[in-house]
Structure 1
Amino acid sequence: MRNQISGVSNVLLNVMFWALAVACLFPVLLVVSVSLTDELAIIRHGYNIIPPKFSLYAYEFLFKDSDKIFRGYGISILVTLAGTAISLILTSLFAYPISRKDMPYRNSLSFFVFFTMLFHGGLVPWYLTYAAAGLKNTLWALIIPLLIAPFNIIIMRIFFSNTIPDSLIESAKIDGASELRIYARIVLPLSLPVMATIGLFQTLNYWNDWYNSMVFISDNRLVSLQYLMYKVITQVQYLTSGMVNSGVAGQELAKIPTETVRMAMAIVGIGPIVFVYPFVQKYFVKGLTIGAVKG
């Protein structure tokens, strides 16, 4: 009877998870379908999971200036890789010391991190700080503002506190290992789950960021892909809003896709980041939960 109940429960759980998977996958399929649908078919029939009239015009319209798209890809990839790597190093270098019980002023430093989650200096001081440092129109303006996240430091500190045994650190000290050697050769190899989790968070933050490009970058050669997509959407909305004289624009306004190009941009924007998650999936749940339960 016990095995029978367990079997029924497993079937119900599998059905539930398959339903959730389909519910999560359906919007993605709908976005892909709409991006491959003719604009007039969207106007007449609305959104459909199967395109009533297949068309690649949205992608043709989007890639008319392909040089800017590929340059934006390059900027976003470079900023994401460099920013995530530097962020992981700095976050772990801050979180590990405050996780050690013998660290002086560890509680004060932890409070400082928590305080910044509650209070912000404001947009104007934030902008003036980076502008005065000479970061405008540089790639550092896209990297530095997102380097440190207090929430990530807290997650990593809890992981270090609950996962790295004090006896292991003491043994390494007895063997003559320095603090830097303990950090690099013992702590980091044992922290792959939390490093992968925080790395995924930071990868998403950097890849999806468009605000820093809008604020700090005026050189079109340095804008990220997301901000480039944002500008395309804004321009399309402006051209189709009725504020442009149709006599000046001619019949070209009628050829501009609106709904389909938005979906095409979503596909172009999420393409590379989709391939990151499978590599860190096995660490993701473990990295979030292993430090949350005291062993």
Structure 2
Amino acid sequence: MKQSLMDRIFIIFIYTLLIIIMLMVLYPLYFVLIASFSSPQLVLNGDVWLWPKELSWRGYEKLFQNKEIMQGYGNTILYTVSGTAINVALTVAAAFPLSRRNLLGRHWISGFMVFTMFFSGGLIPTYLLIKQLGLLNTYWVMVLPGAVSVWNIMLMRTFFQSGLPFELQEAAAIDGCSNLRILWRVVLPLSAPILAVMVLFYSVGHWNAYFNALIYLSDRDKYPLQLILREILVQGETKDMVDVSEGSLSSSVLDVESIKYAIVIVANLPILILYPFLQKYFNKGVMVGALKG
């Protein structure tokens, strides 16, 4: 179609606005990246804003010399991998029966589950429950309390209902497959997109989680990386990572600044690298159940 002058002006305006918004979102990330390996003195002076200047890796050197950072990294990987495996297994175990037409009371069960999305017991009753279960200050407290998400169950149930023909399950049942075998041999092989979505949703949540650790963990050797990052950025505990005896006080302050930028990059680099390649699966997750026909 031939575009009028006003249509062209409108398109130019939209693209210009989107470019401005994109720069507003991306520039802080870019600045943290170039500031992490630039001279901290130039960063504090405001001389670093477009390109890195006077390359310095001191922040990363100090960072990787800190044992708590490395231990926190290992804990976060452990919580993310084990927690995501438990999350996906329980989500599939709940969503598959709810998607079956022959499950009696499935609408009532779904209703009770959705009810928990709007009402909860609160922080204090939850803490008392965790304490009574003996999960305080254990690795399990980072993966079991949030072992399943009702929203993700509904998302996966919708995919099973609308994305997979029920006739496939009926044909498998006629051939003698049990419900478990139908799930393992028929449903799961055809559900790679929604499984990828669930893995991404849960893994990103575990990687960024810090609140449960803040409430339930007391041993520092169990802290995830994000909780250590919080201490460094919010409470200013980077002073423990530098040695004033190595130089002047001003030099130590500069080291603290470089460490702050380095820890932000190190903590977020895995997700920043992973996300662009898996963006299409996030889009797929958003669109699941959006269209019916």
1:174 correspondence with 2:174: yes
Instruction: Give the conservation status (yes or no) of the 8 Å contact 1:37–1:55.
Output: yes
* Aligned position for 1:246: none
- Indicate how the Cα distance of structure 1 residues 287 and 190 shifts in structure 2: closer, same or farther if over 3 A, else same: farther
Matching residue's letter, 2:129: T
Q: Which blocks of at least 5 consecutive residues in structure 1 are unaligned?
A: 3-7, 240-249
* Alpha-carbon separation, structure 2, partners of 1:125 and 1:106: 29
* Alpha-carbon separation, structure 2, partners of 1:197 and 1:79: 18
Instruction: Give the conservation status (yes or no) of the 8 Å contact 2:238–2:259.
Output: no
* Alpha-carbon separation, structure 1, partners of 2:175 and 2:19: 52
Question: What is the SS of the residue equivalent to 1:188?
Answer: helix
Summarize deviations over 1:134-190 as a string: whole Å, max 9, x none.
Answer: 112211111112221121111111111111212111111111110011111111111
Give the counterpart of 1:273 among 271, 276, 283.
Answer: 271
TM-score (norm 2): 0.84
Instruction: Give the conservation status (yes or no) of the 8 Å contact 1:193–1:284.
Output: no
Q: How far does residue 37 in structure 1 lie from its aligned partner after superposition? A: 2.7
Summarize deviations over 1:251-279 as a string: whole Å, max 9, x none.
Answer: 54762345443322210101222343355
User: What are the within-5 Å matches in structure 2 for residues 94-113 of structure 1?
Assistant: 94-113=94-113
Q: Mean alpha-carbon deviation: is it higher for 224-233 or for 197-206?
A: 224-233
* Alpha-carbon separation, structure 2, partners of 1:52 and 1:89: 48
User: What are the within-5 Å matches in structure 2 for residues 194-233 of structure 1?
Assistant: 194-233=194-233
* Alpha-carbon separation, structure 1, partners of 2:274 and 2:112: 32
Q: How far does residue 15 in structure 1 lie from its aligned partner after superposition? A: 9.2
- Indicate how the Cα distance of structure 1 residues 191 and 256 shifts in structure 2: closer, same or farther if over 3 A, else same: same
Q: Mean alpha-carbon deviation: is it higher for 190-199 or for 31-40?
A: 31-40
CA RMSD, Structure 1 to Structure 2 (Å): 3.1
Q: Mean alpha-carbon deviation: is it higher for 42-51 or for 119-128?
A: 42-51
TM-score (norm 1): 0.83
Summarize deviations over 1:4-42 as a string: whole Å, max 9, x none.
Answer: xxxx9xx98999988876665433221101222333322
Question: What is the SS of the residue equivalent to 1:146?
Answer: coil
* Aligned position for 1:34: 35
* Aligned position for 2:5: none
* Aligned position for 2:281: 283
- Indicate how the Cα distance of structure 1 residues 193 and 123 shifts in structure 2: closer, same or farther if over 3 A, else same: same
Q: Mean alpha-carbon deviation: is it higher for 229-238 or for 124-133?
A: 229-238
Question: What is the SS of the residue equivalent to 1:276?
Answer: helix
Q: How far does residue 106 in structure 1 lie from its aligned partner after superposition? A: 0.7
* Aligned position for 1:115: 115
Q: How many correspondences in the alignment?
A: 282
Q: Which blocks of at least 5 consecutive residues in structure 2 are unaligned?
A: 3-7, 240-246
- Indicate how the Cα distance of structure 1 residues 278 and 50 shifts in structure 2: closer, same or farther if over 3 A, else same: closer
* Aligned position for 1:244: none
Matching residue's letter, 1:183: L
* Aligned position for 2:152: 152
Summarize deviations over 1:172-226 as a string: whole Å, max 9, x none.
Answer: 1111110011111111111111111121111111000111111121111111111
Q: How far does residue 107 in structure 1 lie from its aligned partner after superposition? A: 1.0
Q: Mean alpha-carbon deviation: is it higher for 211-220 or for 251-260?
A: 251-260
1:80 correspondence with 2:77: no
Question: What is the SS of the residue equivalent to 2:278?
Answer: helix
- Indicate how the Cα distance of structure 1 residues 238 and 25 shifts in structure 2: closer, same or farther if over 3 A, else same: closer
Instruction: Give the conservation status (yes or no) of the 8 Å contact 1:217–1:223.
Output: yes
